[in-house]
Structure 1
Amino acid sequence: MGRFTHRFSGCVLGLGLFLAGTGVAVADIVVRFSGTQGIPFTAQWEWTGPGQEHRSGTWAGRAPRVERLPDGRFSMTVIQQASGGRLEVLVTGRGNRSSSSSSGAGATMLFSLQ
């Protein structure tokens, strides 16, 4: 199994200002997959909105990629599908910023915004 690192920062004022300047609604959840160009990954996710609307799904793809969801509760499991590269994932939303990176096939990252 591959190496795994995780960093988390709560309530980042500068991030909200940055997102407002990019045209992304500050209340949105933004998931950015980056790292080695073309590194394959699979992400299983669940989202629950303020009115208890529920969505879940799978994002299977290659870095770089950006996904957006409306504000709500969000959880995700990401698995790097190949070795020989690095996968970096950044999740922003609800005033939080969480990022992880991995290298090696089978490396798993977990995210949750409550």
Structure 2
Amino acid sequence: MSVPVQIKLRRAENLLELSYEDGSMLRLPAEYLRVESPSAEVQGHGPGQAALVTGKQHVGITGVEPTGNYALRLSFSDGHDTGIFTWDYLEELGREHATRWQRYLHRLESAGASRA
């Protein structure tokens, strides 16, 4: 687990930026973080129970609150604030961004749903 040395909320770009001691950086869009929230509301309580979150194209991050030394609690402009994003989960979201995003877009299309 890598702990970021700097956390910035880039409101104009609508993303969360995490900088690490080795010089690496994660830039995670608000919409992506919202639809991948680790909360039970989004992920469900067991395998196969994840909800398809729609209509979040314009959601923003309204708050970033450290939770102990292991995570962040993010608050979103749609009122969602129950997900605790651990450092490991944020790194996973960064590593798997392209794959997860394409899977999300495919799920939206299959459901006839929209990002808007």
Q: What TM-score does the superposition give when structure 2 sets the normalisation length?
A: 0.26
Task: Identify which of structures 1 and 2 has the higher relative contact order when contacts are C-alpha pairs closer than 8 Å and 6+ apart.
Answer: 1
Higher strand share: 1
Query: Larger helix proportion, structure 1 or 2?
Result: 2
